[in-house]
Amino acid sequence: MPDSDFGYTVWGKDWVRLAEPLRQTRPDPQLPRARRLARAGKVEITTDGRTVRAVVHHGRTAFTANIELAPMPQAAVAAISRRLSGPRPTLTDDLYRTLTADGHRPAPHLATTDCTCPAATPRCVHVLAAYYEMARRVDDDPRVALDAQDYFRAASQGADAAAAASATPQRWIALNSLEPDDYF
């Protein structure tokens, strides 16, 4: 069980799967090094919208890997919002399984990756190290998984749109309910 320290929640496991896709039958020889970099605290993560930026330190040099995620489908944003009502919703493994059963599995999907290193591959050791570091962070706080997909902004925009949509009919209902007989 050498690598159970990454992805021990289902939310974090999604990020391990980006490094270790199930369709890949032979393990990538770079994975142990990528895990070591993450474990040793060599990966600094920042997120901006749906872009995860990882600065990976290698001795005196550092490379920057950018991972851009695909937008979360509106239906998934709405489904998660419905399940997350309440003042302090918690993102449990059970919630994840419920969303998955509803057809809205909240797993991240890659749009693009790039890195400043010379490896010229979408799966250089820095990108892989970034997946592991994200797995660790997501295990600590699954909200990180949703934030990296820009869920919270999308959800608040969705809530605004829903409020606007429900405000309009209410206004019309109010106008229609003014019976002329009440005034004469």
Identify which range of 66-74, 110-118, 161-169, 172-180 contacts Zn ion by CB under 5 A.
110-118
| Helix, coil or strand: residue 52 | strand
CB of 54 to Zn ion, least distance (A): 9
Of 19, 77, 115, 145, the one binding Zn ion by CB under 5 A: 115
Which of residues 10, 43, 107, 124 is near Zn ion by CB under 5 A? 124
The letter for the amino acid at 122 is P
CB burial of 29-66 (b: ≥16 within 10 Å; e: otherwise) equals: ebbeebbebbbeebbebebeebebebbbbeeeeebebb
In angstroms, give the least distance from the CB of 31 to Zn ion: 14
Q: Does 52 bind Zn ion (CB under 5 A)?
A: no
* Closest CB to Zn ion among residues 95, 124: 124
Q: How far apart are CA 102 and CA 178, in angstroms?
A: 42
Least distance to Zn ion from the beta carbon of 18, Å? 15
For the bound state, the minimum distance from the C-beta of residue 124 to Zn ion, rounded and expressed in Å, comes to 3
User: ∠ CA 160-134-98 to the nearest 5 degrees?
Assistant: 55
DSSP state, residue 28: P
Binding status of residue 126 toward Zn ion by CB under 5 A: yes
Provide the minimum distance between the beta carbon of 63 and Zn ion in the complex, in angstroms, as a whole number.
5
Should residue 13 be labelled a site residue for Zn ion when binding is judged by CB under 5 A? no
Task: Note whether 37 binds Zn ion by CB under 5 A.
Answer: no
**Interacting stretch for Zn ion, rule CB under 5 A, among 30-38, 72-80, 94-102, 124-132?**
124-132
Residues 6 or more apart in contact with residue 83 via CB below 8 angstroms: 89, 95, 98, 99
The CA distances from residue 32 to 18, 80, 158, in Å, are: 15, 34, 41
Residue 123 in the binding site for Zn ion (CB under 5 A): no
The tokens for 138 are 């997501």
Interface ranges with Zn ion (CB under 5 A):
63, 115, 117, 124, 126
